[in-house]
Amino acid sequence: MLKVSAPGKIILSGEHAVVYGKPALLASVDRRIVVSFGNSDNFSEGQDFIYKAVNLLRKNLQVKDVNSSLKIVSDIPVGSGMGSSAALSVALSALFYKKYKKVWDLNLINDMAYQIERIQHGNPSGGDNTVSCFGGFLWFRKKSKRKMLFTQVKPTKKLPKIIIIQSGKPRETTREMVAQIRDFYVHHRREVEKIFNNLESVTKGFLKCLDADFSDISILINENEHLLEALGVVSDKTRFLIRKIKKLGGAAKVSGAGGIKDGSGILIAYHKEPEKLFLFAKSNKLDSFSVILGGKGVKIE
Ligand code: MEV
């Protein structure tokens, strides 16, 4: 039976700014979504989204078969900045291309996944689906709606351990957060551009870090978080958690669209003694887990 899987992602740096043509550095994670044709299990990514995605695929790939139902199994947290919807878009696109067109072409799969992502998020950069499709570490830049430039980057040294801490599922959707930044940008263009320029410098810092040594990773994580706070995508509750992590000697940042009213989604956190982060998460009743970055993109299981 045909089964396709695609990974979730984290953004090391560049979220939001990437929607405006700035670079982002993204990495795939070792948590995946697996889709196949078969009876549906309970999967919490919106049924409405799946329905629209499948309709788009049927229309664009001229699929006549309307009876196939889907089985979706995933260990990527939903609606929390870890690329669950992008992984679903990529996996569905690949499943349909493979089954109905007998084609396995990552560029075609990714283009279609981007169209699906646009149904869900309005004006996404395309970074999330691209890293889920190609895997690894991705230096990504959106040039226009149709043109995206990206390169895979291979870290030259073993990466430090990154821990994911769930700050709480945001009440806002990615679409709402992106729209909020649009509003901020329209009304305070100079201020927002300054933040985006600073984010670009931090993103370049992360790129250097992958290439040389990781001694600066805490500084870069802290700077990135500081800029995301200036953009207004981090809730008070999450800021408070991040301050506590810093007091413990660690560093943490929001990764993805963020959230303001309650949680801000997953945090990527670093501490030279990772156990301290797990203990912190446990005592604050927060989910936490370690991730391996840079694994394979979409694949047939
Ligand atoms: C969401 O994971 C990342 C954002 O930069 C939006 C996007 O890139 O489309 C906030």
Protein residue with its CA nearest to atom 8 in ligand 1 = 125
State pLDDT tens for residues 156-180. Answer: 888 889 999 999 999 999 999 999 9
* Cα 64 to averaged position of ligand 1 atoms, centre (Å): 33
The segments of the chain whose pLDDT lies below 50 read none
Q: Count CB-CB contacts under 10 A for residue 143.
A: 9
Q: Which residue among 9, 13, 15 has the greatest number of ligand 1 atoms within 8 angstroms of its CB, and so is best to mutate?
A: 15
* Cα 219 to averaged position of ligand 1 atoms, centre (Å): 22
**pLDDT (0 to 100) of residue 132:** 98
* Ligand 1 atom with least separation from CA of 15: 5
Protein residue with its CA nearest to atom 3 in ligand 1 = 256
**pLDDT (0 to 100) of residue 41:** 60
pTM (two decimals): 0.95
Question: Which amino acids bring their CB within 6 angstroms of ligand 1?
Answer: 15-16, 18-19, 81, 124-125, 127-128, 174, 178, 256-257
* Cα 120 to averaged position of ligand 1 atoms, centre (Å): 12
Q: Which residue among 84, 89, 174, 177 has the greatest number of ligand 1 atoms within 8 angstroms of its CB, and so is best to mutate?
A: 174
SS3 readout for the chain: CCEEEEEEEEEEECCCHHHHCCCEEEEEEEEEEEEEECCCCCCCCCHHHHHHHHHHHHHHCCCCCCCCCEEEEECCCCCCCCCHHHHHHHHHHHHHHHHHHCCCCHHHHHHHHHHHHHHHHCCCCCHHHHHHHHECEEEEEECCCCCEEEEEECCCCCCCCEEEEECCCCCCCHHHHHHHHHHHHHHCHHHHHHHHHHHHHHHHHHHHHHHCCCCCHHHHHHHHHHHHHHHCCECHHHHHHHHHHHHCCCEEEECCCCECCCCCCEEEEECCCHHHHHHHHHHCCCCEEEECECCECCEEC
How large is the angle between the packed helices 47-60 and 84-96, nearest 10 degrees?
Answer: 30
**How far is Cα 231 from Cα 17, in angstroms, rounded to an integer?**
10
* Ligand 1 atom with least separation from CA of 181: 10
